């Protein structure tokens, strides 16, 4: 079964084609992303109106490229008069992110998916963006039948920080969430305070790499909010404020950017890893997953891998390949495949952008 995935919930316009073999093995055939980062950089963050306009410009070229790379040329060919014939080697469904996200951005992907599903007479699949991030860990990996439940998933992105318990395919229970800023949002705001630009995660990670303890003139110590709380919730707003105050009190902070970046990153990683391990133990989870844009962070990947090896030797850790960590459509198509396999389709008339969509 071949699925076209479309993603436009935030600032990446993306399309991908994946193929599932019915035995739980998912192969990514094409994965095209048009990023708007360079455009939003000048504003220091994502401007929704600008994002939507860019999606409108990019969405058809991106889909066309994803189909061409998957050797599905005839969908847009004048020879087939815009029809995409069903059958072997051709598409079986169109999966699209319907939420959560920026409403005007979502609408571009959803309306395009509707038009294509109508024109090509293909079933639509409505995909939750967070669910997409969860399935990113399965794209191009082993047969998904190897996954053992329960699974604990930490989804950390610019918009979300969620701990999710999955007792079976499609059965999600949110056991923890941020009470204020998402982890990625905290990285973005911290980077802004440090004058490192947007997006903040990669900028802070890069600056932190330059940290050299021998060259730092003093110790910087930031809080680890809620690290010992009994629940599985998070809070990153206080950490960001602590950083801003520390900088304010430090006339020489410009010479300590790598020191501040290092400590900020360590604080976020400490909290995320500690909570993920606690949740895994509490629910006796057999599989641990880390997903979302922040899962691109090398230090987080390293500390989590080492900690799981030492403290959870019976659990299997799944982290997406780097290219599937930040927003992409391969993850949407992969999640869509699971819905399509169960014949959980949405007719084009019912595909609708849902900016506040929740998981489950
Ligand atoms: O998943 P994503 O692409 O979009 C949302 O769904 O929000 O995540 C984007 C977020 C941004 O906040 C960005 O700063 C963060 O992921 N991010 C990182 C890294 N790469 C991206 N955070 C920490 N370290 C990174 N290497
Ligand atoms: Zn995302």
Q: Does ligand 1 lie within 6 Å of residue 188's CB atom?
A: yes
- Please answer whether residues 160 and 292 qualify as being in contact, where contact means their C-beta atoms are separated by less than 8 angstroms: yes
Q: Does ligand 1 lie within 6 Å of residue 159's CB atom?
A: yes
Specify the pLDDT at position 43: 87
Rg (C-alpha) for the chain, rounded Å, is 21
Residue 64 CA, ligand 2 centroid: distance in Å: 22
Specify the pLDDT at position 21: 85
- Please answer whether residues 240 and 189 qualify as being in contact, where contact means their C-beta atoms are separated by less than 8 angstroms: yes
Cα–Cα distance, 110 to 240 (Å, whole number): 35
Q: Where are the beta strands (DSSP E) in 8-55?
A: 12-20, 26-35
Residue 158 CA, ligand 1 centroid: distance in Å: 5
Specify the pLDDT at position 82: 53
Q: Does ligand 1 lie within 6 Å of residue 297's CB atom?
A: yes
Q: Does ligand 1 lie within 6 Å of residue 132's CB atom?
A: no
Specify the pLDDT at position 265: 98
Specify the pLDDT at position 88: 45
Q: Where are the beta strands (DSSP E) in the chain?
A: 2-7, 12-20, 26-35, 93-99, 124-128, 151-156, 161-168, 171-177, 287-291, 316-318
Specify the pLDDT at position 76: 55
Specify the pLDDT at position 143: 74
> Residue holding tokens 């459509």?
329
SS3 content of the chain, % helix, strand, coil (to 5): 45, 20, 35
Q: Does ligand 1 lie within 6 Å of residue 176's CB atom?
A: no
- Going from the N-terminus, what domains does the chain have, and what CATH number goes with each? 2-140+324-350 (3.30.420.40), 148-320 (3.30.420.40)
Cα–Cα distance, 279 to 150 (Å, whole number): 11
Residue 196 CA, ligand 2 centroid: distance in Å: 22
Q: Does ligand 1 lie within 6 Å of residue 100's CB atom?
A: no
Ligand closest in space to the Cα of 11? 1
- Closest of 200, 156, 203, 201 to residue 182, by C-alpha: 156
Give pLDDT < 50 ranges for the chain. Answer: 87-88
Q: What are phi and psi of 342, to 5 degrees?
A: -90, 10
Q: What are phi and psi of 13, to 5 degrees?
A: -95, 120
Q: Which pairing describes strands 316-318 and 151-156: parallel, antiparallel, or unpaired?
A: unpaired
pLDDT digit string, tens, across residues 261-307: 999 999 999 999 999 999 999 999 999 999 999 999 999 999 999 99
Cα–Cα distance, 133 to 332 (Å, whole number): 8
With a CB cutoff of 8 Å and minimum separation 6, the contacts of 227 are 270, 271, 274, 275
Residue 156 CA, ligand 1 centroid: distance in Å: 8
């Amino acid at each position: 079964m071949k699925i076209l995935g479309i993603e436009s919930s935030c600032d990446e316009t993306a399309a991908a084609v994946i193929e599932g073999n019915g035995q739980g093995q998912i192969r990514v055939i094409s994965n095209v992303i048009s990023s708007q980062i360079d455009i939003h950089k000048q504003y220091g963050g994502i401007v929704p109106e600008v994002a939507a306009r860019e999606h409108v410009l990019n969405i058809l070229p991106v889909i066309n490229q994803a189909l061409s790379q998957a050797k599905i040329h005839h969908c847009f060919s004048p020879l087939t008069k815009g029809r995409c014939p069903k059958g072997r080697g051709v598409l079986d469904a169109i999966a699209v992110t319907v939420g959560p996200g920026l409403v005007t951005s979502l609408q571009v992907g959803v309306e395009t998916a509707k038009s294509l599903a109508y024109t090509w007479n293909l079933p639509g699949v409505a995909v939750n963006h967070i669910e997409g991030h969860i399935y990113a860990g399965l794209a191009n990996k082993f047969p998904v039948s190897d996954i053992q439940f329960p699974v604990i998933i930490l989804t950390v992105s610019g918009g979300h920080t969620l701990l999710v318990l999955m007792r079976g395919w499609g059965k999600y229970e949110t056991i923890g969430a941020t009470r204020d800023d998402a982890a990625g949002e905290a990285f973005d705001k911290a980077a802004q305070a440090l004058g490192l630009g947007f997006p903040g995660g990669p900028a802070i990670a890069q600056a932190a790499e330059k940290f050299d303890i021998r060259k730092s003139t003093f110790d910087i110590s930031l809080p680890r909010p809620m690290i010992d709380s009994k629940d599985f919730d998070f809070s990153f707003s206080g950490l960001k404020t602590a950083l801003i105050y520390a900088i304010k009190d430090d006339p020489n902070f410009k010479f300590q950017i790598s020191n501040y970046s290092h400590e900020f990153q360590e604080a976020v990683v400490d909290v995320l890893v500690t909570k993920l391990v606690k949740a895994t133990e509490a629910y006796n989870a057999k599989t641990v997953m880390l997903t979302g844009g922040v899962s691109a962070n090398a230090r987080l990947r390293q500390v989590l891998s080492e900690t799981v090896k030492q403290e959870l030797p019976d659990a299997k850790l799944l982290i997406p390949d780097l290219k599937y960590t930040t927003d992409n459509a391969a993850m949407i198509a992969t999640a869509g495949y699971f819905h399509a396999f169960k014949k959980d389709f949405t007719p084009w008339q019912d595909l609708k952008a849902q900016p506040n969509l929740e998981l489950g």
